Amino acid sequence: MAQLVEQELLNPSDYIPRVVGRYSPLLIDHGKGIYVWDVNGERYADFTSGIAVVNTGHCHPRVVAAIQEQAARIIHAQANILAHSPMMQAAKLLTETTTPNLNQVFWTNSGAEAIEGAIKLAKVATGRPAVIAFKGAFHGRTHATMAVTSSRVKVRGHYEPLIPSVYHAPYPYLFRSPYKGAPEDADLFYFAELEALFDQMVMPDDVAAILAETVLGEGGYMVPTKRWMQMVRELCDRHGILLILDEVQSGMGRTGTMWAYEHFDVVPDIMAVAKGVASGMPVSAVVSDRALMDKWAPGAHGGTYGGNAVGTAAAVATFEVMRDEDLPGNAARMGEILMAGLREIQADYPVIGDVRGLGLMVATEFVHPDGSPNPEAVKTVIAKAFEEKTLLITCGTYDQAIRIVPPLVVTEEQIREFLDVYRRAVAAAA
């Protein structure tokens, strides 16, 4: 374990505004693998991955070495002024993992910026103004990304006016579907709601893009059906609409495949990538086909820091670690053990209404006996897990679910230890 650093203990609330809500009181010193250590030397198992970011684990030695080496060479080689190897190498490695039509990478700095870029590209490429997004989605906090976000009203409320010409359809939330027919047909109901926008709200040839999280994250970890996703793809094709998939949270091996779209046998026209792409360095990307990217004239979009040399060097190391350690494969294997263990806990404690997810993008939704959302149980479980030195975060509009998103380097032993902690925490809430 690394030496704890001597530091003056400042109070976050003196310097950092309260808008930065805090999930834990921890003042952190360092991290390694799935663990972080606070300034008192206490170790915590991080089942948040810093909101699904450190997929290679905290401070993977190869990522650390790449950052150190690049920082000593050049930190800021501005992309419009100087090309550099990490930026291109990372794009090459990224596009080697994607479908052939995702072959060029516009580097940005955050998930929101990637979504902004994706929407701008879709508008320019189609010459159309409108975007269709899904209820419950989270895409970021800039003005355009707030407009396509509806996971919680506090993200967008009080910021109006947002960008116009955004239309919302319900995303398949199969656990709470209003559809009263056969459960296996619920996805058809959701698709019909989407298609009805064209009868009631917007002409299809005014729509530049349909934007969807491949697996819905912040809004509750909802996994759509393959059929629904394929119908959305087909709808786009029918009307010349571009399909933007937001893989900011679901990408980079998280769901047991490198990209979540692989589960659904669909191919996006534009993909937004962030979070896990550089193991915690602020790197994100808009990924698309050269033919589409060519519609962006030089200078029609840009940014000072996009493709930062240190950030993309971290991305290079991240892709190499993903490949060499088969982290998507580990996510698939560990995810199965995790889901099976959670289902056993659910069988004993009906306060868990639903266990859902893909790979290591997993959530449990908590319910009252009448089936209504139970955020109080969520609070208790998170607090109890924290007492046992395990970090967890919520998701869902009502904070009715807990997401379980450990780094993809997690071992079976660590998953089983976690399941023991979780069982005790759920028992306390039941």
Ligand X SMILES: Cc1ncc(COP(=O)(O)O)c(C=O)c1O
Identify which of residues 48 and 104 has a Cβ nearer to ligand X in the complex: 48
CA atoms within 13 A on the CB side of 334: 31
Closest CB 26 distance from ligand X, rounded Å: 20
The dihedral through the CA atoms of 412, 414, 417, 418 has a sign that is: negative
Identify which of residues 37 and 47 has a Cβ nearer to ligand X in the complex: 47
Residue 371 gets the label, from left (phi > 0), alpha (psi -120 to 50) or beta, of: left
Identify which of residues 374 and 397 has a Cβ nearer to ligand X in the complex: 397
Name the token pair of 315: 């991305």
Total chain residues near ligand X (CB under 6 A): 15
Q: Backbone phi, then psi, for 223, in 5-degree steps? A: -105, 120
* The Cα angle at residue 49 between residues 107 and 43, in degrees rounded to 5: 140
Question: Element (H or E) spanning 64, and its range?
Answer: helix 61-73
Closest CB 355 distance from ligand X, rounded Å: 20
Closest CB 120 distance from ligand X, rounded Å: 15
Site string for ligand X, 129-168 (x = CB under 6 A): ---------xxx----------------------------
| Residue type for position 353 | G
Site for ligand X contains 79 (CB under 6 A):
no
Dihedral angle of Cα 391, 397, 399, 402, to the nearest 10 degrees:
-50
Closest CB 210 distance from ligand X, rounded Å: 15
State which residue has the least CB distance to ligand X: 111
Site for ligand X contains 209 (CB under 6 A):
no
Identify which of residues 37 and 221 has a Cβ nearer to ligand X in the complex: 221
CA 19 from centroid of its chain's CA atoms: 21
Closest CB 262 distance from ligand X, rounded Å: 17
Closest CB 141 distance from ligand X, rounded Å: 6
Task: Tell me: cis bond preceding 161? Omega within 30 of 0 counts.
Answer: yes
Beta strands in 90-221 (DSSP E): 104-108, 130-135, 166-170, 207-213
Closest CB 107 distance from ligand X, rounded Å: 14
Q: Quick one: DSSP state of residue 120?
A: H
Closest CB 162 distance from ligand X, rounded Å: 16
Site for ligand X contains 34 (CB under 6 A):
no
Identify which of residues 49 and 249 has a Cβ nearer to ligand X in the complex: 249
Closest CB 403 distance from ligand X, rounded Å: 10
Identify which of residues 222 and 421 has a Cβ nearer to ligand X in the complex: 222
Residues sharing a CB contact under 8 Å with residue 243, sequence separation 6 or more, in sequence order: 209, 210, 212, 232, 233, 236, 266, 268, 269, 270
CB-based burial, 340-359: b 16+ in 10 Å, e otherwise: ebbeebbeebebbbbbbbbb
Exactly one of 29, 46, 213, 269 binds ligand X (CB under 6 A); that residue is: 213
Beta strands in 214-334 (DSSP E): 242-246, 270-273, 284-288
Strands 393-395 and 390-391: unpaired
Exactly one of 132, 274, 321, 345 binds ligand X (CB under 6 A); that residue is: 274
Identify which of residues 51 and 124 has a Cβ nearer to ligand X in the complex: 51
**Interaction residues for ligand X, span 235-254 (CB under 6 A):** 246, 248-249
Identify which of residues 241 and 277 has a Cβ nearer to ligand X in the complex: 277
Closest CB 387 distance from ligand X, rounded Å: 26
Exactly one of 34, 115, 310, 421 binds ligand X (CB under 6 A); that residue is: 115
Exactly one of 46, 187, 218, 365 binds ligand X (CB under 6 A); that residue is: 218
Per the CB < 8 A criterion, the answer to whether 190 and 199 are in contact is: no
From 210, 259, 279, select the one nearest 33 (Cα to Cα): 279
The dihedral through the CA atoms of 5, 7, 12, 15 has a sign that is: negative
Identify which of residues 51 and 163 has a Cβ nearer to ligand X in the complex: 51
Identify which of residues 393 and 421 has a Cβ nearer to ligand X in the complex: 393
Closest CB 264 distance from ligand X, rounded Å: 16
Q: Which residues bind ligand X (CB under 6 A)?
A: 51, 110-112, 115, 138-140, 213, 217-218, 246, 248-249, 274
